């Protein structure tokens, strides 16, 4: 399944519909794959949904159905969110142990990990099937609507407003995060970085030698900010699974790691957002011409 604009797409609107159909079909196939673990199926389905939201954001100014589609995808994801979040917290603790556990005793890390893993296992088979069935039902409704999607403008004009809106918002969010680098500010920045990364991904067929490295840089930035956010969630979960002394030690290690990630993110972010929004739009408009003439 190709999450990108292709030379043989008849129009921007046709491309958007094709990509949406593909991502919905892939999400439904992944949730139905009983050979995969529940967490793998959830992770795959949510990844497809995030792509759908990124696609919708790209054409938002010219897409009258944006609010409906965005809400439908968000609501479909909501039922699966807490299950995936529980698994991510375990992975985050494991990553912290690898990078910087500081003076946290190994027994403490093992004990807390066991408690976190138990939260993942609380969702039984029947509940798992119910969650996947609800998700699939919601996406099938959306799939039936895709052919009615229309854009008000043609060609690159259908994308330009959404592209620059997200890019400019990303730069503003970075500046706000630098001024007040709290968890919420970095998380808001991260969401816009991920949308921008999706937009580069959608355009990469046009100029792969140029957009490939830019996409990789935005991806690295998104991963750093994502790890920062996951550590915040871990810290917030600790009171439920650890004694005061243990959670203080782990939280301190998590905060040290967050500082490292934030420093890396600001270094990368200045590079990702170095170009003025108008210049970015002109450059991507040129790539669009390379793709469609």
How far apart, in Å, are the Cα atoms of 49 and each of 53, 201, 262, 283?
6, 15, 27, 28
CATH T-level fold of 12-143+154-288: CHAD domain (1.40.20)
Mean pLDDT for 272-283 is: 98
Taking residues 98-121, report their average pLDDT. 81
Examine the pLDDT at 238 and tell me if it is beyond 80: yes
pLDDT higher at 283 or 108: 283
Q: Is the pTM of this model over 0.75?
A: yes
pLDDT above 70: residue 123? no
Mean pLDDT to the nearest integer, 77-101: 84
Residue 100 reports pLDDT greater than 70: no
Mean pLDDT of all residues belonging to the chain: 93
Mean pLDDT of 108-123: 83
The length of the chain is 293
CA distances from 259 to 245, 254, 264, 266 (A): 22, 9, 9, 11
Question: Which of 87, 17, 13, 15 shows the shortest CA–CA distance to 46?
Answer: 87
Confidence of residue 1 (pLDDT cuts 50, 70, 90): low
Q: What number is the average pLDDT over the span 69-92?
A: 89
Q: What is the pLDDT of residue 39?
A: 86
pLDDT recorded at residue 120: 75
Averaged pLDDT for residues 25-52: 93
Mean per-residue pLDDT, 99-114: 81
Q: Is residue 122 predicted with pLDDT exceeding 90?
A: no
Residue 273: its pLDDT value, please?
98
Predicted local confidence at residue 188, as pLDDT = 97
Of 60-74, 117-131, 149-163, 276-290, which gets the smallest average pLDDT?
117-131
Tokens of 290: 């390379």
Domain ranges for the chain, please list them: 12-143+154-288
Quick: pLDDT tens for 22-36: 999 999 999 999 889
Share of the chain above pLDDT 70, in %: 97
Place 245 in a pLDDT band, splitting at 50, 70 and 90.
confident
Average pLDDT value for residue range 249-276: 96
Token pair of 293 as six digits = 């003439």
CA 85 to CA 241: how far, in whole Å? 15
């Amino acid at each position: 399944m190709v999450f990108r604009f292709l030379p043989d797409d008849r129009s921007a609107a046709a491309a958007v519909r094709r990509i949406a159909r593909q991502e919905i079909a892939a999400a439904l196939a992944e949730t139905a794959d009983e050979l995969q673990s529940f967490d793998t199926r959830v992770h795959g389905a949510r990844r497809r949904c995030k792509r759908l939201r990124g696609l919708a954001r790209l054409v938002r100014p010219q897409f009258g159905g944006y609010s409906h589609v965005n809400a439908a995808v968000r609501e479909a994801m909501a039922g699966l969110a807490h299950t995936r979040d529980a698994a991510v917290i375990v992975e985050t603790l494991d990553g912290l142990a690898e990078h910087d556990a500081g003076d946290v005793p190994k027994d403490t890390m093992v004990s807390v990990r066991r408690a976190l893993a138990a939260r993942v296992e609380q969702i039984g088979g029947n509940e798992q099937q119910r969650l996947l069935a609800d998700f699939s039902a919601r996406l099938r409704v959306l799939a039936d609507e895709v052919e009615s999607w229309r854009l008000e403008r043609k060609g690159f004009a259908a994308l330009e407003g959404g592209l620059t809106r997200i890019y400019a918002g990303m730069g503003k969010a970075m500046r706000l995060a630098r001024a007040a680098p709290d968890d919420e500010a970095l998380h808001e920045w991260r969401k816009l970085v991920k949308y921008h990364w999706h937009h580069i991904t959608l355009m990469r067929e046009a100029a792969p030698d140029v957009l490939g490295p830019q996409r990789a840089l935005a991806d690295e930035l998104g991963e750093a900010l994502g790890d920062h956010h996951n550590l915040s969630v871990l810290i917030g979960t600790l009171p439920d699974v650890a004694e005061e002394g243990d959670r203080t030690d782990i939280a301190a290690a998590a905060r040290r790691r967050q500082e490292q990630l934030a420093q890396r993110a600001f270094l990368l972010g200045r590079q990702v957002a170095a170009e003025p929004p108008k210049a970015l739009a002109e450059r991507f408009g040129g790539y669009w011409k390379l793709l469609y003439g």
